[in-house]
């Protein structure tokens, strides 16, 4: 067989499997969140659909699909319809390069392993803003417009601090290849969360803002903007935005794990290489738990304070952290 064709076919199969896994994990992340929120709030959460509410995601999906898909008469139909697709597409694209673990022979378990992986991720998350901004804008309605404006401003300003916090890790690892960063951490026997704790905290905060999660859920801000940018959306298009948000949550948790928590690194990995997948998933789940924990605990920030916090606190601190890291590496001649 033609090697190019073979590559195309295997990649397509891998991508199909991955999308299936990601979308399923999204569905159960939703259940995970609902259960956890319920426990935080002295409730029991979904219990009626299937044992322990395990079929709740399926019930939700059916409900969403069966709803009428409405397009406001004044909306720009093309952009209105393309926006949710854009949001979910960029969210899923990011998965192409995430190494979920390593095969016993040391190659990463991922669809592609470009040497500028982290840049690709940042690019995807930046393009993802368009989904929200265009969706809110094309709805031709006032609440979504406010939501879209908020989200554009928020995502642009938080992207900067996020980028700076990641650069610190890149300097330490000396590579922009995600698999390389993970290998560097296990080679140095230190997860970058320790030398880069400041960057980790900044990454955590900006990642929360990037994914529009509480306490930075201003573009949605249910109690202020009704439902923010997706107020006018219904049925599957609404569901698509939903998928995008949760998939993004998993993405930023996965990146956080790769950059700061050593990826699949953990006890017994050298003995049983397949354990790296388990460790990776456990760490991602832990970060996801923190997302939900934050949502259950914190009130929402106000828009102007959020911007001030991003520009006046996070950005300078991230820049300072970067300078210190760079100076440290320059003086020692190598990372860690």
Q: For 108, which DSSP code?
A: B
- CA-based angle 146:148:154, to the nearest 5? 100
State in angstroms the smallest separation of the CB of 142 from other proteins: 5
Select from 23, 27, 37, 329 the one that contacts other proteins (CB under 8 A). 37
- Does 226 contact other proteins by CB under 8 A? yes
Q: Which stretch binds other proteins (CB under 8 A): 10-18, 33-41, 240-248, 263-271?
A: 33-41
Instruction: CB nearer to other proteins: give 2 or 41.
Output: 41
Nearest to 225 by CA among 327, 307, 149: 149
Question: Does the protein bind other proteins through residue 201 (CB under 8 A)?
Answer: no
Please identify which residue in 303, 311, 326, 336 interacts with other proteins, judged by CB under 8 A: 303
Q: Which residues between 40 and 59 bind other proteins (CB under 8 A)?
A: 40-43
The answer to whether the beta carbons of residues 169 and 335 sit under 8 Å apart is no
Which CB sits closer to other proteins, 133 or 322? Answer: 133
Q: Which of 2, 48, 106, 305 binds other proteins (CB under 8 A)?
A: 305
Question: Closest separation between CB of residue 302 and other proteins, Å?
Answer: 5
- Asked if 118 interacts with other proteins (CB under 8 A), we say no
Give residue 99's region: left, alpha or beta (phi > 0; psi -120 to 50).
Answer: beta
CA dist 300 to 23, 39, 237, 253, 304, Å? 28, 20, 26, 21, 12
Q: Which of residues 140-179 bind other proteins (CB under 8 A)?
A: 142-143, 146, 150
Contact predicate 194/265, CB 8 Å: no
Q: Provide CB contacts within 8 A for 32, sequence distance 6+.
A: 288, 292
CA separation for the pair 204, 287 (Å, rounded): 9
* Residues making contact with other proteins (CB under 8 A): 37, 40-43, 142-143, 146, 150, 214-215, 217, 221-226, 295-305
């Amino acid at each position: 067989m033609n090697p190019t064709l073979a590559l195309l076919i295997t990649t397509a199969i891998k991508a199909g499997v991955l999308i299936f896994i990601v979308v399923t994990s999204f569905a159960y992340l939703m259940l995970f969140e609902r259960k956890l929120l319920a426990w935080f709030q002295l409730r029991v959460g979904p219990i009626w659909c299937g044992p322990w509410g395990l079929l709740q995601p399926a019930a939700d999906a059916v409900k969403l699909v069966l709803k009428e898909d409405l397009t406001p008469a004044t909306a720009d139909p093309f952009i209105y319809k393309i926006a949710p697709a854009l949001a979910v597409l960029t969210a899923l694209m990011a998965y192409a390069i995430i190494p979920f673990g390593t095969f016993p022979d040391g190659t990463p378990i991922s669809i592609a392993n470009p040497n500028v992986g982290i840049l690709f991720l940042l690019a995807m998350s930046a393009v993802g803003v368009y989904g929200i901004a265009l969706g809110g804008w094309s709805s031709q309605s006032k609440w979504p417009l406010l939501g879209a404006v908020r989200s554009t401003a928020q995502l642009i300003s938080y992207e900067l601090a996020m980028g700076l916090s990641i650069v610190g890790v890149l300097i330490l690892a000396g590579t922009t290849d995600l698999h390389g960063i993970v290998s560097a951490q296990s080679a140095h026997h230190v997860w970058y969360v320790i030398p880069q704790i400041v960057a980790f905290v900044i990454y955590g905060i900006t990642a929360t803002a990037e994914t529009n999660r509480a306490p930075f859920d201003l573009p949605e801000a249910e109690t202020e903007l009704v439902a923010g940018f997706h107020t006018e959306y219904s049925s599957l298009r609404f569901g698509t935005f939903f998928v995008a948000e949760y998939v993004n949550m998993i993405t930023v948790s996965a990146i956080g794990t790769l950059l700061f928590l050593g990826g699949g690194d953990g006890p017994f990995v050298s003995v049983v290489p397949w354990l790296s997948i388990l460790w990776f998933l456990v760490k991602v789940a832990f970060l996801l738990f923190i997302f939900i924990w934050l949502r259950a605990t914190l009130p929402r920030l106000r828009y102007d304070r959020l911007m001030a916090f991003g520009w006046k606190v996070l950005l300078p601190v991230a820049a300072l952290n970067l300078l210190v890291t760079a100076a440290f590496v320059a003086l020692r001649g190598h990372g860690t």
